[in-house]
A and B are shown apart, each in its own frame.
Chain A
């Protein structure tokens, strides 16, 4: 079996199908101080973490829902499970053999063990609230790289975690970061020591299984000076026809002369509200690259943010959003130029189909003093039919004069003539459409490692199936 064979067998059923979830029946719905204390106790957390959680809970109850973006009024906070842990999963496994059979089967269908063997430096696999598997190849461990379940990292590396946890993203940034702080569970802790180049990607896969589940994993990444790395995240959830919520948080610190790439393919089921927060702080001469694909999920609000703090620091944001029937993809990028001679690029591609709505919402802020800043934003939209729509909301806040800024936006519809041309060569209408769409997102696909590029193409193809008629 080749590393890519699993992708050919991927179909919607792989993602939509759920395992038995007797454990979740015992899990209670709703949010309370009691639950927050229980989570912290079960995880044997230090006092400061419990205090932080309680602060999060307090802020969550005080704060209002955002008044912009996707309408969240139907999100019933009392009807969600905030913490669920399959009984048999006590501590994660470091060998797939030790992962409970049905959990293992899920990840096998998603191709994780196979990919790990072939191309990854390490892999993690989270199932509802807890990691089922986490492993880093020995060669990297020897160099001092830490790739750990976030729950475990709080125990094993308390000083490092305390120094960086919820520092790039403040607890009260918005209602969902407050909620995240209160009930976060699982996720990844990655630490790359000074000068170490991890040249194979590290991957984490987040799987929601239980119905009405909320998943709140926390990913904390520290890339020390001169270090380099690439982290890839995949996400999916089965389809139940009732609401689930994903409010994860990603914090990345890119130190002087370091480079880091974070790629994610978010493919939650359409029942999911995906309200994720991702932020990186980049120091002098550092480079942060974001590559993101947003498919699935009914309603998404996600705007990865780069704070270019150090001189000559750089960020690249590449994003694809696919809004199919019944979906709103409200996504974009935020870039804040603080240091001198900082550079940023944003390339966003939105596709809408079958009545879906794809929105680019971006912030480009250049602070006073960020002399010589260069920024380029380009967002392209492709609308596949008359029912679908696309909008662009760029927000430019420029407080410095000595800057160079480019902003381009385009909205395109697939032309009959293009389809006819491809069909005259023997491609069906669906194949022709898929080909045009794949061409549209190609600049982003080519930034992904081969395995993920192929998977992303396959996911897009799945979205394109039955697109006509």
Chain B
């Protein structure tokens, strides 16, 4: 199983969101797509889900061009909050389950319990942390081949992050799934990653295996990222 982006360019109006980007992802690995806000992370994820299409180049999933059909196999957590406020937690779960054939109710129940979410509560009464948790439950409960998380920790306190990380590690199927996390919170995410991909205003400026980075260059992902940005800025003045 794999995802491939080949020579992808995506523009919004005159602005480039991605410039000639080529990257690929293999199963059994956790990838971090890291970069500042507005660097093209979300666009990359949308192209993989088939919610947006490239202006140039191609995006494929298992050698099939990404379309609304391939999105069946891809679970996507947006950075936006997309719940019906008047639904209860349980109604939200049931609604998501009705939309995706790969929704695993058993997993959802375990996740809800682990995240300590009260299923009878209305979405509008949930704290920000619990909304974040609920979002993750609806994404992780799918037996999808690919899990895409867009800023899963954004605005959440360290305890909530911790419970999200633990659930990710507990429920990820490492033999069959690809996990791709887009975030600007580099230090927080580093211990989770196999590989880091640095994206900077539409360009992929680096890709490394995290442990090799530390072993061979003595750099954490954040230090590496800062060096790349400096070099990139120097070359493109």
Query: Are both chains from one complex?
Result: no
